[in-house]
Chain A
Amino acid sequence: DTGVSQDPRHKITKRGQNVTFRCDPISEHNRLYWYRQTLGQGPEFLTYFQNEAQLEKSRLLSDRFSAERPKGSFSTLEIQRTEQGDSAMYLCASLRGEETQYFGPGTRLLVL
Chain B
Amino acid sequence: GESVGLHLPTLSVQEGDNSIINCAYSNSASDYFIWYKQESGKGPQFIIDIRSNMDKRQGQRVTVLLNKTVKHLSLQIAATQPGDSAVYFCAEITGAGSYQLTFGKGTKLSVIP
Binding site for B on A (CB under 8 A): 2, 4, 6, 31, 33, 35, 40-45, 48, 55-56, 91, 93, 95, 98, 100-106, 108
Additional 20 contacts, C-beta under 8 A, given A43-B101, A100-B46: A2-B43, A4-B43, A6-B43, A31-B99, A42-B103, A45-B101, A48-B98, A55-B98, A56-B95, A56-B98, A91-B43, A91-B44, A93-B43, A93-B101, A95-B99, A101-B99, A104-B43, A106-B42, A106-B43, A108-B41
Residues in chain B within 8 A of chain A (CB atoms): 34, 36, 41-46, 49, 89, 91, 95, 98-106
Given A42-B91, A43-B103, A44-B103, A103–B43 Cβ distance below 8 Å? Answer: yes
Closest B residue to A44 by CB, please name it. Answer: B103
Among the interface residues B43, B89, B104, which one has the most CB atoms of the partner chain A within 10 A? B43
A106-B41 Cα distance, complex, nearest whole Å? 8
CA distance A55 to B49 in the complex (A): 25
> Is B44 a contact partner of A103 (Cβ separation < 8 A)?
yes
Contact A103 B45 (CB under 8 A): yes
Cross-chain contact B100 with A56 (CB below 8 angstroms) = yes
Contact present for A42 and B105 (CB under 8 Å): yes
Q: What CA separation (Å) do A44 and B89 show in the bound complex?
A: 12
B42 and A48 form a contact (CB under 8 A): no
* A97–chain B nearest beta-carbon distance, Å: 9
